[in-house]
Amino acid sequence: MQTLITVILPVFLVIGFGYAAAWRGIFSEENVNGLMRFATNFAVPVLLFRAIANLDLSADFDLSLLGSFYTGAFLSFCAGLFGARLLFRRDWEDSVAIGFVCLFSNSLLLGLPITERAFGPDALTGNYAIIAVHSPFCYGVGITAMEIIRARGQSPAKILPTVLKAMFRNALIVGISLGFLVNFSGVALPEPLRVAVDLMARAALPAALFGMGGVLYRYRPEGDLRTIAYCCIISLGLHPAIVWMMGGLNGLGTDSMRSAVLTASMPPGINAYLFASLYGQARRVAASTVLIGTALAILTIWLWLGALP
């Protein structure tokens, strides 16, 4: 119970403040949109830029860690995709969007602050390694699957440019790419620029969490409850369970196991809805799963934290 109160609730209270502010009309929809644009297009990419630029790539990019996490992520995508198609009779485009909902855990806005609250700032190395690959991997899988289905009968050569163009329009991927560029080059940032980056990075998570609460207020659940429940089971249960099993098989250390399983246990993020909106598929399922999954995660994250070493 102490973990629930001291680790999980502070993060969800910030989300709750944003939700309440939007509900009471104190924070308008335009305010929410502006705050989320600042967070997702500027502050969070700067946070990722700083984290990747400062990573020790030879030590921190543990292939066992990444293999364990992304095996779970890909299998969760497949479970969502084929479950939507075979169990709920959705068309293939809808099924890809639902698979993306099951794939894209909220590694950044929830995974980082909860891991930090639970295990301290020094425990975030594994999280940053996962996050560095997360958007490229998830968008790469989702966009590729969607474009293959939409391009039935067309040349495969047309798919790759579409995928790359869509990925590199994403500010998070731009921030990650620039971070790798600085890391590989070994160039130290000038002091004024470094301080400015630190200021932006410190604003990222509080702004994004508050804004996320405002966004979630819009997505009140309606219909498709069986599909939504299925997505929540995969995101909150199957994904971390697979990562736990793979981590054990790969001999992950305590810190890496914590980062991998805890990140996998996060509910779907706003990007799940953005992907559904991008293609106009399964938007109600995506929006409602983000909302309901985030609420359920208060309990499920507590349970996973209790099970971790």
Distance of alpha carbon 264 from alpha carbon 296, whole angstroms: 14
In the prediction, which pLDDT does 168 show?
A: 73
In the prediction, which pLDDT does 2 show?
A: 61
Residue 46 CB contacts under 8 Å (≥ 6 apart), including other chains: 175, 197, 200, 201, 204
Among residues 260, 200, 262, the alpha carbon closest in space to that of 68 is found at 260
* SS3 of residue 105 by DSSP: strand
Classify residue 67 as exposed, middle or buried by CB count within 10 Å of its CB (0-12, 13-18, 19+). middle
Distance of alpha carbon 77 from alpha carbon 144, whole angstroms: 13
- The tokens describing 264, both together, are 């996998």
Q: How many other C-beta atoms are found inside a 10 Å radius of the C-beta of residue 192?
A: 8
In the numeric block, the tokens 């084929």 are attached to 82
105 forms bridges with which residues in the sheet?
268
CATH number for the domain harbouring residue 127:
1.20.1530.20
Please give the DSSP secondary-structure letter assigned to residue 107.
Answer: I
Distance of alpha carbon 72 from alpha carbon 89, whole angstroms: 24
Look at the alpha carbons of 213, 214, 215, 218 in this order and tell me if their dihedral is positive or negative.
positive
Over the chain (309 residues), the average pLDDT of each successive run of 10 is 67 88 92 87 87 74 91 98 96 95 90 90 88 85 85 67 72 84 87 92 86 79 85 97 96 93 92 80 86 90 90
In the prediction, which pLDDT does 22 show?
A: 93
> Quick one: which H or E segment has residue 130?
helix 125-150
Alpha helices, H only, 190-269: 191-218, 225-233, 239-249, 254-264
Angle at 83 between CA 75 and CA 134, to 5 degrees: 35
Domain that holds residue 68: 2-307
In the prediction, which pLDDT does 31 show?
A: 93
Residue 230: C-alpha distances to residues 49, 72, 82, 202, 258 (Å): 35, 16, 12, 36, 25
Distance of alpha carbon 27 from alpha carbon 24, whole angstroms: 8
Q: What is the pTM of this model?
A: 0.81
Distance of alpha carbon 91 from alpha carbon 109, whole angstroms: 31
Count structural domains, the chain. 1
Helix 171-185, helix 125-150: angle, nearest 10: 130
